């Protein structure tokens, strides 16, 4: 047989070391009409922690990446898709899951709460929004994961415009300020805040006003994502 006709069969490998399971957990934040920051929880259908509330998530399949698994679990357990999603942290405590040695890679997502109607599927009994200051007891180490995500959000919202993901497409200056006050947990000076946000030239002033409001209608704005990306490449620093 000549070298040109040799056929090399794929080799079979075995590992002597046991391998941990890999899961995905997602912390999904939303802002309701009463300016309350909320997070999605699912009620577990299966043990362990059957009937308890937990973050949406599940095991990573062999034929998908971590991010693909995160998108799949979000869609399957909450019906949410096509939102801001970012990897958060890896949690690997030895006793974090009573079933086996399980490592989880956590993600956090930001959504406009009003755009989605939650629906529980697969291994979830229910899915619901909970105010971040009134959470039920969570399964596994999900309280730690939630707190890590909240700290990340509070830090990153100061230097990247991710907060606009929580707002409707058209918003008022008051809504932006209330968003930052809610996430950061403190009052902001109205004059200074508006001066900073408008000076960045990242808001498109629309020829539209609020409708169906009891108070005086305010001007509506949109965030200019294209302008932000252009300025970012030029070294622009978003800071509020």
Give per-residue pLDDT as tens, 176-201: 999 999 999 999 999 999 999 999 99
Among 147, 161, 138, residue whose Cα is nearest residue 88:
147
pLDDT at position 65, please?
98
How far apart CA 117 and CA 197 sit, in angstroms, is 31
Among 85, 80, 105, 147, residue whose Cα is nearest residue 20:
105
How far apart CA 216 and CA 97 sit, in angstroms, is 53
Selected residue with higher pLDDT from 123 and 127: 127
* Residues forming beta bridges with residue 25, ordered by sequence position: 57, 106
CATH second-level architecture of 170-233? Orthogonal Bundle (1.10)
pTM: 0.90
pLDDT bucket at 117, cuts 50 / 70 / 90: confident
pLDDT at position 12, please?
64
**Fold match between domain 21-156 and domain 170-233:** no
- Across the range 5-15, mean pLDDT stands at 63
Q: Does 48 sit behind a cis peptide bond, omega within 30 degrees of 0 on the bond before it?
A: yes
Q: Is 25 exposed, middle or buried (0-12, 13-18, 19+ CB in 10 A)?
A: buried
Report CA-CA distances (Å) from 72 to 26, 78, 89, 126, 171: 11, 10, 19, 17, 30
pLDDT at position 7, please?
61
3-state secondary structure of 131: strand
- Across the range 149-155, mean pLDDT stands at 98
CB-CB contact of 192 with 199 (8 Å) = no
Superfamily of domain 21-156: Nucleoside Triphosphate Pyrophosphohydrolase (3.90.79.10)
- For 174, the token pair is 């008051």
Give per-residue pLDDT as tens, 134-149: 999 999 999 999 999 9
Q: Which residues contact 73 (CB under 8 A, 6 or more apart)?
A: 24, 26, 56, 57, 58
How far apart CA 132 and CA 155 sit, in angstroms, is 16
How far apart CA 152 and CA 168 sit, in angstroms, is 22
Give per-residue pLDDT as tens, 202-240: 999 999 998 877 678 899 999 999 999 999 999 999 998
Q: Which residues contact 142 (CB under 8 A, 6 or more apart)?
A: 25, 54, 55
pLDDT at position 213, please?
74
Count CB-CB contacts under 10 A for residue 8: 5
CB-CB contact of 172 with 218 (8 Å) = yes
Which residue ranges make up each domain of the chain? 21-156, 170-233
pLDDT at position 215, please?
76
Angle 142-156/173-184 helices, nearest 10 degrees? Answer: 130
pLDDT at position 5, please?
58
């Amino acid at each position: 047989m000549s070298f040109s006709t040799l056929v090399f069969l794929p080799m079979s490998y075995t590992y002597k070391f046991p391998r941990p399971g890999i899961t995905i957990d997602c912390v999904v934040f939303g802002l309701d009409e009463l300016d309350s920051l909320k997070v999605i929880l699912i009620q577990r259908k299966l043990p362990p922690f059957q009937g308890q509330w937990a973050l949406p998530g599940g095991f990573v399949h062999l034929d998908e990446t971590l991010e693909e698994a995160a998108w799949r679990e979000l869609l399957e357990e909450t019906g949410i898709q096509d939102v801001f999603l970012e990897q958060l942290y890896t949690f690997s405590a030895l006793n974090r899951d009573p079933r086996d040695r399980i490592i989880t890679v956590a993600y956090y997502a930001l959504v406009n709460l009003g755009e989605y109607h939650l629906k529980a599927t697969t291994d979830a009994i229910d899915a619901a929004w909970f105010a971040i200051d009134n959470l039920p007891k969570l399964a596994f180490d999900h309280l730690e994961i939630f707190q890590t995500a909240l700290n990340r959000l509070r830090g990153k919202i100061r230097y990247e415009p991710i907060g606009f993901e929580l707002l409707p497409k058209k918003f008022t200056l008051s809504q932006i300020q209330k968003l930052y006050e809610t996430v950061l947990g403190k009052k902001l000076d109205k004059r200074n805040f508006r001066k900073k946000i408008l000076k960045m030239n990242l808001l498109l002033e629309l020829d539209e006003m609020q409708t169906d409001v009891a108070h005086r209608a305010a001007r509506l704005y949109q965030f200019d994502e294209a302008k932000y990306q252009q300025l970012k490449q030029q070294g622009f620093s978003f800071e509020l």
